[in-house]
Amino acid sequence: MANYKLMIPGPVDVEDEVLSEMASPVPAHYGDAWMKIYRETVDCLKQVFQTENDLFIVGGPGSAALDASFGSLLATGDKVLIPSNGFFGQRLRAMARGYGLEAVPLDFPLEQAISAAAVEAHLQKEKDIQAVAVVHHETSTGILNPLPEIAAVTNKAGVPIIVDAVSSLGGVPLPVDEWGIDLCITVPNKCLAAPPGISLISVSQRAWEMIESKSNRSHGWYLNLQTWKQYATKWARWHPYPTTMASNNVLALLASLRRLLAEGLETRYARTVKAAKMTREGLTDMGFEMFVEGPHASPLITAAKVRPDMSIAEMARFLRDECGIMIGGGIDELAGKIFRVGHMGKAISPDYIEAFLTGVGDFLQQKG
Amino acid sequence: MANYKLMIPGPVDVEDEVLSEMASPVPAHYGDAWMKIYRETVDCLKQVFQTENDLFIVGGPGSAALDASFGSLLATGDKVLIPSNGFFGQRLRAMARGYGLEAVPLDFPLEQAISAAAVEAHLQKEKDIQAVAVVHHETSTGILNPLPEIAAVTNKAGVPIIVDAVSSLGGVPLPVDEWGIDLCITVPNKCLAAPPGISLISVSQRAWEMIESKSNRSHGWYLNLQTWKQYATKWARWHPYPTTMASNNVLALLASLRRLLAEGLETRYARTVKAAKMTREGLTDMGFEMFVEGPHASPLITAAKVRPDMSIAEMARFLRDECGIMIGGGIDELAGKIFRVGHMGKAISPDYIEAFLTGVGDFLQQKG
């Protein structure tokens, strides 16, 4: 199929040495040789998550691991506070409702970060809330919610926090243990710069205590974290997970994690910030306004507003067909109003950004 | 990592042209180019499933799609009859219980096929059973359960049937529509000869009617087939599924499906039968007895009994370390008593089988 440079908000383009791992002869998902690979992958992930919590590699997309968090932590009827400022916050609510949880809303405008003070006030008011779930980086708009502050107020209230770090972990600081994140979920195919197919979840001791206190939930087997814990013990040396593992996808993730750790987290974060800056300066010079301004504008994607003299669909088509670059549009009410450029995976390299900015310039010139 | 010839009961070794698709530049999981690939994959799958039912590609292992079947079709407290003659039949019960279903047991000895007459008698006796779930090929022993007969009696009783065809579909006949299978689940990494990571599920009209009649189940979002149906409509042209797709794994599956359909299902089935025959004759000549004899011995794996003068663990180690071949052992009570050789993926080729038989001969000779 046609091969585009991916500058969408994920999945991302990955390095050749990572891709080539995908084509390794399929390894058995058990046995000494494999367990060495598996354990190294988990160790690397713990370094990136900056956690000593349990960490699982779950087959399926990020939504599978997020779903597992809700279903495992909470019982039908439980209240979970889900502040939201965009599409992925809303999706967390849909997941919570899927298990019959009461998804207590706390809404913020699309252009605004979630307020930790508002979360704190709500937790003080509604005492029977059992957990908080929040999106770290709202991929639909590029807002980086103030997670350390939000986690601090939930920790203070003694309530566990589920964090959707799907498009943030590995691209911006997220020290899981330091910030007190109970369930932290991400995927390879965003900032970890590997192909999609698996998801990653860390589980704190406090989360386990709540999970184990609610044994009669009827929330399933595969996405029940108790199943995963059981196999981690029962089959510890054989394969410490309940099913066949997507072993090629794990090999590719490991190759990418080794690169990330060799580069250093801080260096990668700095390169991401630089990529965002270069993109925004270039777009601003061409007359675009950013959708988010200020400290909550994440370096992970740039969301820019449409100019009155153009159509985003036309620009995206031009970039794809003339420049071989895919970018993202706006979702739902933002469709046609913003476009989104990802700064994850290979797209943080200056040549991707130059090609993109040149393409936008050419499009505008051609439009006259 | 070390590269072994996989003759385990899955995952399987796959052809180079399939593997190389895994290393394609990551495609976006939406857009015209991708949708062409996705639709062709679904079309090919429908040909292999021999079905006109809806068919979904779900991120996760076979257990994820099986779990989705139970959780979507049934409500907590519902009775599901699960005849079982091995480890994977027992696993279906664990999944059913995960959703608080009453997993009604009907047990058969490990060496014996499930009896359709017994299933029929049970359905006549216990009238409030809402569904039947059964393993087609019990991978832990190599028994191919008589699915057409089992499906016929469940169809006659007007009860939907969930079929775990994880290690059978693509290797032996399984015409889903002709046999009346409501939910049929398989994976790429067994008879479909592609790497693991995704699962495949077909859903009949009768299943949809039951699924939609039970809207208040609290069984989750990601593995709820209603979520999948909703996105198949809502985002039909964009991406007809709720999340990011493991796009490289789909590309590899498509390459393998094209090969399978070019070869022809009947030819592939015949090659599988021949592989099993060659293996069994070779092992019998060396004094091994088969664990299963007669018409229910599947051609998909050969399970042979240990000889009194040897240890299976030792033989497996010899084959791995001296011949670079991995085979499977027995699970649970069959550990140390049987070994299992898969006839799926590249392992159905005569050179794999020759290498295996030579290895076993060398092991026995070396032992004296």
- Calpha distance B96→B114 (Å, rounded): 19
For A180-194, write each residue's pLDDT tens digit.
Answer: 999 999 999 999 999
- Residue whose C-alpha is closest to residue A202's, from A38, A55, A41, A71: A55
Among A37, A66, A227, the residue with its CB nearest the CB of B1 is: A37
Please list the residues that pair with A353 across neighbouring strands: none
Which chain A residue has its CA at the smallest distance from B35's CA?
Answer: A1
Relative to beta strand A54-59, strand A143-144 is unpaired
Query: Which residues of chain B neighbour A98 with C-beta distances below 8 Å?
Result: 218-222, 224, 227
What does the pLDDT read at residue B216?
A: 65
- Calpha distance A168→A123 (Å, rounded): 25
Where do the H-state alpha helices sit in chain B?
16-22, 32-49, 62-73, 87-98, 116-125, 147-156, 176-179, 205-213, 225-234, 247-263, 265-285, 312-323, 350-367
- Calpha distance A108→A89 (Å, rounded): 10
- Calpha distance A81→B268 (Å, rounded): 54
- Report yes or no: B88 and B111 within 8 Å, Cβ to Cβ: no
Handedness of CA B267, B269, B272, B276 (dihedral sign): negative
- Report yes or no: A68 and A37 within 8 Å, Cβ to Cβ: no
Query: Which residues of chain B neighbour A221 with C-beta distances below 8 Å?
Result: 63, 67, 94-95, 97-99
CATH of domain B5-10+264-367: 3.90.1150.10
* Cα Rg, chain B, nearest whole Å: 21
- Report yes or no: B144 and B137 within 8 Å, Cβ to Cβ: yes
* Three-state DSSP class for residue B289: coil
Query: Which residues of chain A neighbour B22 with C-beta distances below 8 Å?
Result: 22-23, 248
Rounded to an integer, the average pLDDT of A233-238 is 87
What does the pLDDT read at residue A293?
A: 92
In angstroms, the Cα distances linking A171 to A5, A166, A273, A342, B227 are: 19, 10, 9, 11, 30
Assigned token pair, A87: 């599409």
How far does B61 lie from chain A, in Å, by closest CA? 6
Q: Which element (helix H / strand E) includes A227?
A: helix A225-234
- Cβ separation of B33 and A100 shorter than 8 Å? no
Q: Is the pLDDT of residue A167 over 70?
A: yes
- Cβ separation of A244 and B219 shorter than 8 Å? no
What does the pLDDT read at residue A329?
A: 96
Q: Is the pLDDT of residue A41 over 70?
A: yes
Q: Average per-residue pLDDT in chain A?
A: 96
Which chain B residue has its CA at the smallest distance from A78's CA?
Answer: B218
Q: Which element (helix H / strand E) includes A313?
A: helix A312-323
Give the end-to-end CA distance of chain B in Å, rounded to a whole number. 32
- Report yes or no: A202 and A212 within 8 Å, Cβ to Cβ: no
Query: Which residues of chain B neighbour A63 with C-beta distances below 8 Å?
Result: 221-222, 242-243
* Cα Rg, chain A, nearest whole Å: 21
Would you give the DSSP letter of residue A345?
G
CB burial of A328-340 (b: ≥16 within 10 Å; e: otherwise) equals bbbbeebeeebbb
ipTM of model = 0.97
- Cβ separation of B326 and A31 shorter than 8 Å? yes
- Calpha distance A149→A3 (Å, rounded): 41
What does the pLDDT read at residue A104?
A: 98
∠B91-B92-B93 over CA atoms, to 5°? 85
Which chain B residue has its CA at the smallest distance from A325's CA?
Answer: B28
Relative to beta strand A79-84, strand A129-135 is parallel
Among A11, A34, A64, the residue with its CB nearest the CB of B29 is: A11
- The residues near B350 (Cβ < 8 Å, ≥ 6 apart) are B275, B278
- Calpha distance A306→A304 (Å, rounded): 7
Give CATH 3.90.1150.10 domain extents, chain A.
5-10+264-367
- Calpha distance A281→A304 (Å, rounded): 11
Give CATH 3.40.640.10 domain extents, chain B.
16-261
Q: Which element (helix H / strand E) includes A92?
A: helix A87-98
Among B26, B100, B219, the residue with its CB nearest the CB of A13 is: B26
Query: Which residues of chain B neighbour A34 with C-beta distances below 8 Å?
Result: 1
How far does A13 lie from chain B, in Å, by closest CA? 6
- Calpha distance A340→B364 (Å, rounded): 64
Establish, for the pair of chains A and B, how many residue pairs have beta carbons separated by less than 8 Å. 226
- Report yes or no: A134 and A82 within 8 Å, Cβ to Cβ: yes
- Calpha distance A182→A158 (Å, rounded): 11
What does the pLDDT read at residue A214?
A: 84
Among A4, A60, A216, the residue with its CB nearest the CB of B60 is: A60
Query: Which residues of chain B neighbour A6 with C-beta distances below 8 Å?
Result: 26, 28
- Residue to substitute from A244, A249, A321, interface B, most B β-carbons within 10 A: A244
- Cβ separation of B28 and A13 shorter than 8 Å? no
What does the pLDDT read at residue B236?
A: 85
Q: Is the pLDDT of residue A215 over 80?
A: no
Per-residue pLDDT of chain B (368 residues; tens, 9 = 90+): 668 999 999 999 999 999 999 999 999 999 999 999 999 999 999 999 999 999 999 999 999 999 999 999 999 999 999 999 999 999 999 999 999 999 999 999 999 999 999 999 999 999 999 999 999 999 999 999 999 999 999 999 999 999 999 999 999 999 999 999 999 999 999 999 999 999 999 999 999 999 999 876 789 999 999 999 999 998 888 899 999 999 999 999 999 999 999 999 999 999 999 999 999 999 999 999 999 999 999 999 999 999 999 999 999 999 999 999 999 999 999 999 999 999 999 999 999 999 999 999 999 999 87
Among A22, A63, A227, the residue with its CB nearest the CB of B22 is: A22
Q: Is the pLDDT of residue A2 over 80?
A: no
Assigned token pair, A35: 């367990």
What does the pLDDT read at residue A48?
A: 98
CATH topology of domain A16-261: Aspartate Aminotransferase; domain 2 (3.40.640)
* Residue listed under structure tokens 């699970």: B331
How many whole angstroms from its chain centre is CA A76? 26
Assigned token pair, B299: 């051609």
Query: Which residues of chain A neighbour B64 with C-beta distances below 8 Å?
Result: 59-60, 64, 222-223, 243
Which chain A residue has its CA at the smallest distance from B19's CA?
Answer: A23
The answer to whether the bond into B308 is cis (omega within 30° of 0) is no
Would you give the DSSP letter of residue B135?
E
Q: Is the pLDDT of residue A158 over 80?
A: yes
Please list the residues that pair with A102 across neighbouring strands: A79
How many whole angstroms from its chain centre is CA A35? 26
- Cβ separation of B197 and A248 shorter than 8 Å? yes
Q: How many helices (H) and strands (E) does chain A have?
A: 13, 14
- Cβ separation of A219 and B99 shorter than 8 Å? yes
What does the pLDDT read at residue B367?
A: 87
Q: Is the pLDDT of residue A216 over 70?
A: no
What does the pLDDT read at residue B321?
A: 96
What does the pLDDT read at residue A164?
A: 98
- Residue to substitute from A1, A231, A344, interface B, most B β-carbons within 10 A: A1
Relative to beta strand A301-305, strand A338-342 is antiparallel
For A314-342, write each residue's pLDDT tens digit.
Answer: 999 999 999 999 999 999 999 999 999 99
What does the pLDDT read at residue B238?
A: 85
Residue B46: φ, ψ to 5°: -65, -35
- Residue to substitute from B22, B80, B99, B258, interface A, most A β-carbons within 10 A: B22
- Calpha distance B186→B189 (Å, rounded): 9
- Cβ separation of B19 and A8 shorter than 8 Å? no
From its phi and psi, is residue B222 left (phi > 0), alpha (psi between -120 and 50) or beta?
A: alpha
Assigned token pair, A25: 């002869």
Among A76, A220, A245, the residue with its CB nearest the CB of B223 is: A220
